[in-house]
Amino acid sequence: MIAAITENLTGIGRRVVGAVWRIGHGTRFLGLILFHSGTSFRRFRLTVKELFFSGVMSLIIILVAGMFVGMVLGLQGYETLKRYGSESALGSLVALSLVRELGPVLAALLFASRAGSAMTAEIGLMKATEQISAMEMMAINPIARVVAPRFWAGVLAVPLLAAMFSVMGVFGGYIVGVVLIGVDEGSFWSQMQSTVDFRYDILNGVIKSCVFGVVVTAIALFEGYDAPPTAEGVSGATTRTVVESSLAILILDFILTALMIQEG
C-alpha cells in the first residue's frame, strides 16, 4: 500500500521535474533563437520566404474562418440584442468581440494547427534525415539559418493574420446583420466607429496576437528541433505542438485579458 503511494508520488514528481526541465530547455532555445537572429534581418529574404509559407499559405483558412465566425456573431448578436431593443449596437458587438478576443485567439489557434504543425514536422524531418547535421558539418548554424527565419516569420504572420481575421469577421457580421437581416447600415458602422477604441481595443488585440505569435512559433520550432529522429518521434512532436500551443494561447489569453482590463 505504502509502496504503491510512494510509487505514484515519485511518478508525479518525475513528471513535474520533467516538465520544468522541458520549459527550461524551451526557454533556452528561445534565447538561442533571439541570439542568432542577425541572419534573419541581414538576409531578410530568408524570413520573407518563410513568411510566405507560414503566413500567405494560411490566408485561405484564416479568411474563410474569419468570415464564418463574423456571420455567426452577426446572427447570435442580433438575437441577443433584439431582446433589449439594441439591434443598432450589432456593429459594436461584432467588432469588439473580434478585435479584442476572437481575432487574436482564433487566428493563433488556426495558425498553430496549420503552420505550427507544419514547422514542427519540417524541422523534425530535417533532423531525422540528417539535414540539420549536414548543415552543422558545413559550418552553418542551423538555428541562425533554418530556425530563426521561421521564428520571425511566425511572429510577423500571426498579428497580420489576426487583423485579416477580424476584418473578414466584421465583413461577415455586416453581411448577416445589415444585408440579410436588415439592421440599419448607418448605425451598424457609426456605433462601431464610436465604441471601438484604438489604444484600448485594437492595440491590446495586437499585443495579444504578438504574444501568441512568439509563443506558438517558439513551441512549434522547439518541438521540431527536439523531436527524436524517428517517424514516431516526429508525429508525437507534431501532436504536442498543437496541444501545447492551443493550451498556451487560451491560458495566456486569460492572463493578458486580466492584465489589460486592470490596466484599463
Partner 1 sequence: MSSEALVEIRDVNFAYGKRPILKGMNLTFPKNKVIAVMGGSGCGKTTLLRLIGGSIKPTSGHVKVNGQIIHELDRAGLYAMRRKMGMLFQFGALFTDMSVYDNVAFQMREHTNLPEEMIRDLVMMKLHAVGLRGTHDLMPAELSGGMARRVALARTVALDPMLIMYDEPFAGLDPISLTVVGNLIRRLNDALGATSIVVTHDVQESLKIVDYLYFVAEGVIIAEGTPDEIRASTKPFVQQFVNGEMDGPVPFHFPGGNYKKDLNL
Q: Which residues bind partner 1 (CB under 8 A)?
A: 122, 125-126, 129-131, 133-134, 136-141, 145
**Torsion, Cα of 173, 178, 184, 186 (10° steps):** 70
Question: Minimum Å distance from CB 7 to partner 1?
Answer: 24
* Closer CB to partner 1, 141 or 187, in the complex: 141
Question: Minimum Å distance from CB 142 to partner 1?
Answer: 11
Q: Is 22 helix (H, G, I), strand (E, B) or coil?
A: helix
- Give me the helices (H) in the chain, please: 2-35, 38-42, 44-54, 59-83, 90-96, 103-111, 117-128, 131-137, 142, 148-174, 185-195, 204-226, 231-263
Contact between 215 and 245 (Cβ < 8 Å): yes
Residue located via cell numbers 439594441? 86
* Closer CB to partner 1, 50 or 226, in the complex: 50
Q: Is 159 helix (H, G, I), strand (E, B) or coil?
A: helix
Question: Minimum Å distance from CB 131 to partner 1?
Answer: 5
Report the distance separating Cα 32 and Cα 26, nearest Å.
10
Question: Minimum Å distance from CB 116 to partner 1?
Answer: 18
* Closer CB to partner 1, 61 or 125, in the complex: 125
Question: Minimum Å distance from CB 135 to partner 1?
Answer: 8
* Closer CB to partner 1, 56 or 180, in the complex: 56
Contact between 165 and 209 (Cβ < 8 Å): no
The C-alpha cell that represents 115 in the structure block: 503552420
* Closer CB to partner 1, 123 or 218, in the complex: 123
